Amino acid sequence: MGADALEMIAERFRALGEPNRLRLLIALEQGEQCVGDLVNSTALSQANVSRHLGALVQSGILSRRKAGLQVFYRVADPGIFEMCDHVCGSLSKRLAAQAGVMPGANA
C-alpha cells in the first residue's frame, strides 16, 4: 500500500477518533439531515456540529448538499457502519470479559 493510501486511512481513523463525531454518525445513520436537526439530536452547539461535520466531510465519510439556505449531510461511505459494528462488537466482548460477564448473559 502506498504512502498516499496510508495517509488517507490514517485521516479516516483520526476523523472517527472524536466522540462527538461518532454521535453525529449515529444520528446520520437514519438518513440525511440538516445542521439544525443534528444540533437537536446531539445536543451539541451549532458551531461544534458544523466543525465536526467539516472534518467528517474532509475525510470522505460524509457528503453535503445545499438546498436554499440549508445544508444537508449524509453518510457518503455506508461501509463506515460495518467498521463501527465490528469495533463495537469487539469492545463489548472486551468490556464483558473485564467485568467477568459473558456476552449475552443477563446480569
- pLDDT > 90: percent of the chain: 52
Higher per-residue pLDDT: 86 or 52: 52
Q: Give the count of beta carbons closer than 10 Å to the beta carbon of residue 57.
A: 16
Average pLDDT, the chain: 85
Note the pLDDT tens digit of each residue in 17-42: 899 999 999 999 999 999 999 999 99
pLDDT at 3: 92
Which residue type is seen at 34?
C
**Residue 104's pLDDT band (boundaries 50, 70, 90)?**
low
Q: Pick 1 or 76 by higher pLDDT.
A: 76
For residue 73, report the phi and psi dihedrals to the nearest 5 degrees: -120, 145
Tell me the whole-structure pTM to 2 decimals.
Answer: 0.75
Domains in the chain (CATH in brackets) are 3-99 (1.10.10.10)
What's the whole-number mean pLDDT along residues 59-67? 93
Mean pLDDT lowest among 51-55, 76-80, 85-89: 85-89
Tell me the CA distances in angstroms from 91 to 87, 95, 102, 106, one per residue in order. 6, 6, 13, 18
